[in-house]
């Protein structure tokens, strides 16, 4: 409809009164894609438009970026770097999956980083196998939960399952708090989760007096860095292969994160719950009148977001081999929300996919990795990341404009 209308503007000129420059611009062979090229889209322009509108755009962009940089940064394509790149992907993916759900209901969850910090500390306080009084004796937990013999259930064979269950429980409670405040009391998600972010990360720091809790049990550490299948490239000359020549291929964090992402993707795209999540994001009033339990769904979404943050906390802290109260602090939130938005999930709600988030996370990790390989200082890395997020937001606007121009 719109297209036809645009191609054949009404014969009478008075309509154009507001735009005195219209005739000049249209006549000139300027590259302005808006007016000049719409009536007869050339092959290239049509191709670019299709590329921009493709939901795999960010994947294509990533591949191009990778191919361009490989000759410039030879380390980039080395197996060790690729293994490292992937291992950075999984914890971020787990957390970003939760953020995707929240963004789709037109919310935002700023508290995910603090959930990671708090749950990693609480988990460690349960299953740490030893603790040094020099480090932790100032902690309010010292002598009650943590002693020189480690955490509450130190040495108990069930310490890790119980600890992980408690971590999920704490996360679910925080999510319940966020969700209730947003859904029942109609508080803005930004406010509620900002308060959560400040409060829970401060609480985590208070619990350990900003020390890390080390000496985590081997079973837990496996969750963050354990290999299931590893690769060795080279001759089997020696009986002992040096550890640094073995490259992780299939790891526990990968299985956990991908499993979570696949489940979430299924939930979002196939189940009634997923449809309800989209409906709320697109039009909350219509959803409510159509009998969707809006408050329950919103609460569940925030709980799921916190749960995903706890999964991310497990993957991160197991890899770091420490319960860390500053986990998820600093620019971690930028990574989480940035990666989700770059994937194409809209901050305005109603639009997003777990698969997109996966692409976004991959791109973000690749970007960080290449910037690191260029030996840029971290300040500049953050500046570039910020710029890329602005670019992603602009891209979203551009895509929407293209879509509405096509009139669908």
Cβ(305)–Cβ(102) under 8 Å?
yes
Q: In angstroms, how far is the first alpha carbon of the chain from the final one?
A: 8
Cβ(343)–Cβ(356) under 8 Å?
yes
**Least distance to other proteins from the beta carbon of 251, Å?**
28
Cβ(357)–Cβ(89) under 8 Å?
no
Residue number with CB closer to other proteins (279 or 371): 279
What length is written for the chain?
408
Residues at the contact surface with other proteins, assessed by CB under 8 A: 1, 5, 8, 10, 12-15, 17, 270-273, 275-276, 278-279, 282-283, 285-293, 350-351, 407-408
Residue number with CB closer to other proteins (248 or 276): 276
* CA separation for the pair 267, 337 (Å, rounded): 21
**Least distance to other proteins from the beta carbon of 296, Å?**
10
* CA separation for the pair 301, 295 (Å, rounded): 10
**Least distance to other proteins from the beta carbon of 31, Å?**
27
Residues 6+ positions from 217 with CB-CB distance below 8 Å: 127, 128, 129, 159, 160
**Least distance to other proteins from the beta carbon of 170, Å?**
26
Residue number with CB closer to other proteins (142 or 273): 273
Q: Write phi, then psi, for 375 (nearest 5 degrees).
A: 60, 35
Residue number with CB closer to other proteins (388 or 402): 402
Residue number with CB closer to other proteins (213 or 287): 287
Residue number with CB closer to other proteins (132 or 271): 271
Residue number with CB closer to other proteins (10 or 43): 10
Residue number with CB closer to other proteins (1 or 40): 1
Q: Write phi, then psi, for 150 (nearest 5 degrees).
A: 110, -155
* CA separation for the pair 369, 350 (Å, rounded): 31
CB atoms < 10 A from the CB of 27, how many?
10
Cβ(227)–Cβ(143) under 8 Å?
no
Residue number with CB closer to other proteins (34 or 404): 404
* CA separation for the pair 27, 152 (Å, rounded): 78
**Least distance to other proteins from the beta carbon of 354, Å?**
16
Helix (H) or strand (E) holding 90: helix 79-104
DSSP string covering 275-334: HHHHHHHH-HHHHHHTT--HHHHHHHHHHHHHHHHHHHHHHHHHHHTSB-TTTT-TTHHH
**Least distance to other proteins from the beta carbon of 400, Å?**
10
Residue number with CB closer to other proteins (236 or 408): 408
* CA separation for the pair 325, 120 (Å, rounded): 7
β-pairing verdict for 227-232 and 246-251 = antiparallel
Residue number with CB closer to other proteins (105 or 367): 105
Q: How far is CA 197 from CA 117, 194, 261, 390, in A?
A: 10, 5, 24, 23
Q: What is the maximum span of the chain, computed from C-alpha positions, in angstroms?
A: 87
């Amino acid at each position: 409809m719109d297209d036809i209308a645009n191609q054949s503007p009404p014969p009478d000129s008075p309509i154009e009164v507001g735009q005195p420059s219209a005739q000049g611009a249209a006549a000139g062979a300027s590259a302005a894609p808006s007016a000049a090229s719409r009536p007869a889209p050339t092959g290239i322009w049509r191709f670019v438009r299709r590329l921009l509108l493709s939901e795999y755009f960010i994947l294509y962009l990533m591949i191009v970026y990778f191919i361009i940089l490989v000759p410039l940064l030879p380390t980039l394509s080395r197996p060790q770097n690729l293994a490292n790149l992937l291992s950075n992907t999984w914890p971020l993916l787990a957390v970003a999956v939760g953020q995707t759900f929240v963004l789709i209901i037109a919310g935002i969850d700023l508290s995910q980083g603090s959930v990671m910090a708090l749950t990693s500390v609480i988990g460690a306080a349960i299953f740490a196998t030893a603790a040094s009084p020099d480090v932790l004796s100032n902690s309010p937990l010292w002598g009650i939960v943590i002693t020189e013999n480690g955490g509450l259930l130190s040495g108990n064979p069930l310490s890790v399952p119980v600890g992980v269950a408690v971590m999920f429980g704490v996360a679910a409670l925080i999510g319940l708090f966020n969700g209730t405040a947003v859904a029942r009391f109609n508080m803005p998600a930004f406010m509620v989760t900002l308060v959560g972010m400040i409060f829970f990360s401060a609480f985590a720091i208070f619990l350990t007096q900003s020390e890390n809790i080390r000496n985590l049990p081997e079973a837990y550490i496996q969750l963050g860095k354990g290999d299931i299948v590893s690769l060795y490239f080279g001759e089997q000359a020696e009986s002992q292969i040096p550890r640094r020549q073995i490259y992780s291929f299939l790891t526990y964090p990968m299985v956990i994160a991908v499993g979570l992402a696949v489940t979430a993707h299924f939930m979002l795209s196939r189940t009634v719950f997923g449809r309800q999540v989209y409906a709320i994001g697109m039009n909350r009033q219509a959803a409510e009148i159509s009998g969707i339990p809006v408050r329950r769904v919103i609460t569940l979404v925030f709980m799921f977001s916190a749960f995903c943050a706890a999964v991310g906390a497990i993957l991160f802290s197991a890899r770091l081999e420490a319960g860390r109260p500053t986990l998820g602090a600093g620019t971690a939130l930028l990574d989480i929300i940035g990666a989700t938005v770059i994937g194409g999930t809209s901050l305005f709600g109603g639009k997003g996919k777990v698969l997109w988030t996966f692409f976004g996370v991959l791109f973000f990790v690749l970007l960080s990795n290449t910037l690191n390989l260029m030996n840029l200082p971290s300040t500049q890395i953050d500046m570039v990341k910020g710029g890329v997020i602005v670019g992603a937001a602009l891209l979203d606007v551009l895509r929407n404009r293209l879509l509405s121009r096509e009139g669908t």
